[in-house]
């Protein structure tokens, strides 16, 4: 007759339950960690990774600029359930961060096939869930339906475009909640090349969009247009009334500023009109009051 202990183990086997060995499990975890580190080291060793610094774990990260300081601007509030678009997503750092903070989806547009390949592999290494989607698209030719994305990021891209104003308007159209632009600013050195010194007194507050004329045809789309914050605020707040007054943030990136534009959230509009004066033709005969019955999100 078998001992009760053997009968118990026999029952466990018959039920198909795997008997665990703590020592073996620990060895397996160690092997998995070693494999993960080996994958990361291989990526860093074999690929030319630049521009964005991304923490890959195991004390390793991609070489590039640390952009964590901007997270407090782009992701200051809750992202739960939001859809994110990152124009010029590079290695995907901001898509990954948005998903980590609760976004439901993140799409990156990028023209470089190499950067898209890197971004997909980095997301796989980091086991990001849900996975970000990276599309090889030029934002000047790509489009999407109106209000397709809750939050749209376009960081350090506008000065590489042939028609940046058209792209800004496109991004305004597809933004449901917030649009963030990180922009190369007009600087005094550029202004001295094209303008009289009298205009230099208050460049940053003037509504200036500066055209550059690169002598190297291969860099025709490099700093084609640069803007002052005032110029972009006129495009966003003056040419339409769909957005609240823009917020201008300082960027840790040299000679850059960040525009934050929040779409007005008006679900119900009540118009109250009535006669305010009689037999007084020289005065307005009516007043119109516009009341938004749903508060703007902050």
Calculated CA dihedral for residues 78, 83, 88, 92, nearest 10 degrees: 70
Question: Which residue range forms the structural domain that includes residue 117?
Answer: 57-262
Q: What is the pLDDT of residues 242-253, one digit of tens each?
A: 999 999 999 998
Is 41 among the domain residues?
Answer: no
Is 111 among the domain residues?
Answer: yes
Average pLDDT over residues 196-210: 66
Is 289 among the domain residues?
Answer: no
Question: Which pLDDT belongs to residue 277?
Answer: 54
Please state the pTM of the whole predicted model.
0.77
Number of domains in the chain: 1
In this structure, what are the phi and psi dihedrals at residue 21, rounded to the nearest 5 degrees? Answer: -120, 105
Q: Which residue is associated with the tokens 């795997």? A: 18
Is 112 among the domain residues?
Answer: yes
| Selected residue with higher pLDDT from 268 and 158 | 158
Q: Which of 173, 146, 298 is nearest to 236 (CA)?
A: 173
Is 73 among the domain residues?
Answer: yes
Burial 192-230 (b: 16+ CB within 10 A, else e): eeeeeeeeeeebeeeebebebeeeeeeeeeebbbbbbbb
Q: Which of 196, 251, 258 is nearest to 68 (CA)?
A: 251
Question: Which pLDDT belongs to residue 278?
Answer: 54
Q: Which of 91, 93, 2 is nearest to 47 (CA)?
A: 91
Listed in order, strand segments (DSSP E) in 66-126 are 83-87, 105-110
CATH number of 251's domain: 3.40.50.150
Is 282 among the domain residues?
Answer: no
Q: How confident is the model at residue 181 (pLDDT cuts 50, 70, 90)?
A: very high
| Selected residue with higher pLDDT from 252 and 102 | 102
How far apart CA 70 and CA 36 sit, in angstroms, is 29
Average pLDDT over residues 81-92: 98
Is 228 among the domain residues?
Answer: yes
Percent of the chain with pLDDT over 70: 72
For residue 243, list its beta bridge partners.
263
pLDDT at 39 over 60: yes
Q: How confident is the model at residue 282 (pLDDT cuts 50, 70, 90)?
A: low
pLDDT at 69 over 90: yes
What DSSP state is assigned to residue 19? Answer: P
What DSSP state is assigned to residue 193? Answer: H
Q: What is the pLDDT of residues 133-149, one digit of tens each?
A: 999 999 999 999 999 99
Question: Which pLDDT belongs to residue 210?
Answer: 80
Q: Which residue is associated with the tokens 């290695």? A: 91
How far apart CA 228 and CA 242 sit, in angstroms, is 21
Question: Which pLDDT belongs to residue 190?
Answer: 63
What DSSP state is assigned to residue 232? Answer: H
Is 257 among the domain residues?
Answer: yes
pLDDT at 2 over 90: no
What DSSP state is assigned to residue 179? Answer: E
């Amino acid at each position: 007759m078998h001992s009760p202990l053997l009968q118990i183990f026999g029952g466990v086997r018959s039920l198909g339950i795997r008997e665990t060995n703590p020592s073996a499990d620990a060895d397996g975890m160690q092997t998995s960690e070693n494999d993960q580190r080996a994958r990361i080291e291989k990526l860093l060793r074999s690929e030319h990774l630049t521009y964005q610094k991304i923490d890959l774990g195991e004390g390793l990260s991609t070489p590039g600029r640390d952009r964590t300081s901007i997270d407090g601007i782009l992701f200051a509030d809750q992202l739960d359930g939001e859809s994110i678009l990152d124009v010029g997503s590079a290695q995907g750092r901001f898509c990954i961060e948005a998903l980590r903070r609760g976004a439901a989806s993140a799409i990156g547009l990028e023209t470089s096939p190499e950067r898209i390949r890197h971004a997909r592999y980095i997301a796989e290494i980091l086991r990001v869930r849900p996975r970000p989607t990276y599309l090889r698209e030029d934002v000047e030719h790509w489009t999407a339906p109106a209000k397709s994305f809750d939050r749209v990021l376009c960081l350090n891209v506008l000065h590489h475009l042939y028609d940046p104003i058209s792209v800004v308007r496109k991004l305004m159209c597809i933004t449901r909640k917030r649009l963030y632009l990180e922009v190369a600013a007009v600087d005094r050195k550029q202004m001295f090349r094209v303008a009289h010194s009298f205009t230099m007194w208050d460049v940053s507050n003037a509504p200036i969009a500066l055209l550059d004329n690169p002598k190297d045809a291969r860099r025709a789309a490099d700093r084609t247009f640069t803007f002052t914050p005032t110029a972009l605020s006129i495009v966003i707040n003056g040419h339409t009334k769909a957005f609240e007054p823009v917020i201008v943030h300082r960027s840790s990136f040299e000679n850059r500023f960040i525009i934050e534009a929040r779409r007005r959230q008006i679900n119900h509009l009540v118009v109250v009109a009535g006669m305010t004066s009689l037999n007084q033709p020289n005065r307005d005969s009516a007043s119109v009051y516009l009341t938004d019955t749903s508060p703007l999100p902050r």
